[in-house]
Amino acid sequence: MNKKTLFSLVGAASIAVSLSATAPVLAAETNNPNPTSTTTNTPSTGQTGTTDTTKPTDNAGTSKEPTPSKPINTADLNKAMSLNAKYAKLTRNSYVYDAKGKRVKNAKLKKGTIIFVSGLTTPDGQVLIGYNNKKGRYIKVNNVVLFKAVQYKVKKNAYVYNSKGKRNTRVYVPKGKTITVFKTKKINDIKYVAFSNSQYIKWSVLDHKSGKVISG
């Protein structure tokens, strides 16, 4: 056998060995899309082997318990209940709050203001009484006292005046209407009655026999 023939046989054998070695690898990669890896990866931080010991990211076990509400003062609650649907007078200037007990910005009631109490609320243990439930307005019950008011019928159309006796030409109280009188006042020797914080009519236009105490 000459050298040229020997080299040809050796080359053919090398090609055969190469094909037999690589064919299984290619088959495994193309015929089995999810081959089982025998490679062991180094566990990342927080892991041991295949067990994940990383701390949970949720707040389980770490959330704070809700803060309990403060106890309600029984005396304040009883006072608020007794004032409901009655008139009350402010004994001091008062901040105004919403139903959740949050102070309403730039809202105050002055001492001496008369309100009609409508409902109550007890946010965070404090007792508040409502005076304008359409807007959800409340004040502290300890800022008021019960106010006696009397209702009268108006016996004829009545002009409306301010606290200085100046007549409002655009407003009047019609005959037969029932008004609630909060106080009386003499202006230029004439007796007037207040049916709001700033509105008055003359005492003489009322049917005095119709008077009825509605609060107190």
Q: What is the CATH number of the domain that holds 164?
A: 2.30.30
Same structural domain, 78 and 142: yes
Quick one: 155 and 191 in the same domain?
yes
Q: Which of 146, 162, 191 is the last residue before a domain boundary?
A: 146
User: pLDDT value at position 87?
Assistant: 86
Could you tell me if 155 and 185 lie in one domain?
A: yes
Looking at residue 207, its pLDDT comes to 97
- Do 79 and 142 lie in one domain? The reply is yes
In terms of domains, do 156 and 211 share one?
yes
Task: Give the pLDDT of residue 53.
Answer: 53
Q: Is there a domain that residue 33 lies in? A: no
Q: How many domains does the chain have?
A: 2
pLDDT tens-digit profile, the chain (216 residues) = 555 544 444 454 444 444 444 444 333 343 444 444 444 455 455 454 555 555 555 555 555 666 667 899 999 999 999 999 988 999 999 999 999 999 999 999 999 888 989 999 999 999 999 997 888 999 999 999 998 889 999 999 999 999 999 999 999 999 999 999 988 999 999 999 999 878 999 999 999 999 998 765
Rounded CA-CA distance 156/80 in Å is 37
139 shares a domain with 156: no
Any domain includes 14: no
Backbone phi, psi, residue 15, to 5°? -65, -40
Do 124 and 172 fall into the same domain?
A: no
- Residue 93 within any structural domain of the chain: yes
Domain end, chosen from 131, 146, 161, is at: 146
Last residue of a domain, one of 88, 116, 146: 146
Give the domain extent around 158: 149-215
Q: Which among 58, 93, 87, 49 has a CA at the least distance from the CA of 179? A: 87
Whether residue 94 sits in one domain with residue 122 = yes
Written as one string, the DSSP assignment of 4-62 is: HHHHHHHHHHHHHHHHHHHHHHHHHHHH-SSPPP---PPPPTTEETTEE-PPPSS-TTT
3-state DSSP percent of the chain in helix, strand and coil, to 5: 20, 35, 40
CA dist 106 and 103 (Å) reads: 9
